[in-house]
Structure 1
Amino acid sequence: MGDVVEKSLGDILNFRRGHDLPKSKVQKGNIPVAGSNGIIGYHNKETSIYPCITIGRSGNIGTPYIYNKCWAHNTVLYVDDFKGNDPEYLYYLLRTLPLSSFGGGSAVPTLNRNHIHPIKVKFYKKIQRQKKIVSILKSIDDKIELNRRINDNLIFN
């Protein structure tokens, strides 16, 4: 376990604010537009980082999502630098953090990247270990999704 280290979140990834996309500028396409609650539409361009990991920045704050490609809307923060770490490992790590508790604002909760970058986290620094953990967690997620589909089929058939 000697490869577990504690660093600030900003030392292992970098968040950036998403981009404005007024409805009048949306072009028909198949790239998901990632909002704070997940997919809010589709566009013909993507944010240039793959995969695209987002967390809600405004409204529904702190919930991580991962997409193969997406347009990161201005209601999210997205990872624009994985700093040599496995992106899927970072996604699973983000799922364990209480990011919503770092929000501010009274009427509409807002998450500022400068408030979450200093959070101290323990993580595996070796990429091989990160990939092994992702492999295990993805197999569990796949099983959960299969069970959900089986349950849906039983309920509606």
Structure 2
Amino acid sequence: MTSKWKDCFWGDIATLEYGKPLKDYKDKNGKYPVYGTNGQIGSHDEPLWNNPGIIIGRKGAYRGVHYSNKPFYVIDTAFYLKPKIKDLDLLFAYYELLTHNINSMDSGSAIPTTSRADFYSLPIILPPIKEQRSISHFLNQFEQEIQVNNQINKNLSN
């Protein structure tokens, strides 16, 4: 079986969209998670993005990569990834992005900021969609097993 993996850049396959300011998300019992630069920070009644997706921290000393398996809201300290191609498995993209040091993409301002231009120039070797799905399925199963083991360890230490 021959595989045709494609050498490209993140800017060829996706854009980073800015989050929007939002008030009253911390104490709300909304249906949709709200993400900032370091992960989920609250909830809201309306999503900004109506699909599962990837959130990438934009401002601050630590800027993480996060995945939401349902629609979500992103505040203005983070980006969300918008695919430009249909053959991009978002879970594969998430795991691939975890291999990069997002914090090294500073724009040079006093407040560390992820540069979209630097992000777009990151190389990626993109497998066909079927292989992306196989890889992401394997990694997701492995991650779930780690979470179960962590919970067992936590329960044993109590």
Q: What TM-score do you get using the length of structure 1 for normalisation? A: 0.88
Equivalents in 2 of 1:49, 1:117: separation in Å? 23
Taking the TM superposition and a 5 Å limit, the aligned residue runs for 1:1-157 are: 2-23=3-24, 28-67=29-68, 68-81=70-83, 83-84=85-86, 85-124=88-127, 126-156=128-158
* Residue aligned with 2:107, SS: coil
The 8 Å contact of residues 12 and 84 in structure 2, kept in 1 or not, is answered as: no
Q: Which amino acid aligns with 2:149?
A: N
Q: Distance in 1 between matches of 2:5 and 2:102?
A: 21
Contact 2:39-2:64 at 8 Å conserved across structures: no
Report the number of matched residues. 154
Amino acid at match of 1:64: V
Following TM superposition, the consecutive aligned residue runs of length 4 or more in structure 1 with deviations greater than 6 angstroms are none
Please tell me the root mean square deviation across aligned C-alpha atoms, in Å. Answer: 2.0
The residue matched to 2:6 in structure 1 has which SS?
Answer: strand
User: 1:122/1:33 Cα in 2 relative to 1: closer, same or farther (>3 Å)?
Assistant: same
Q: Could you tell me which runs of 5 or more consecutive residues in structure 2 were left unpaired when the two chains were aligned.
A: none
Identical aligned residues as a percent:
29
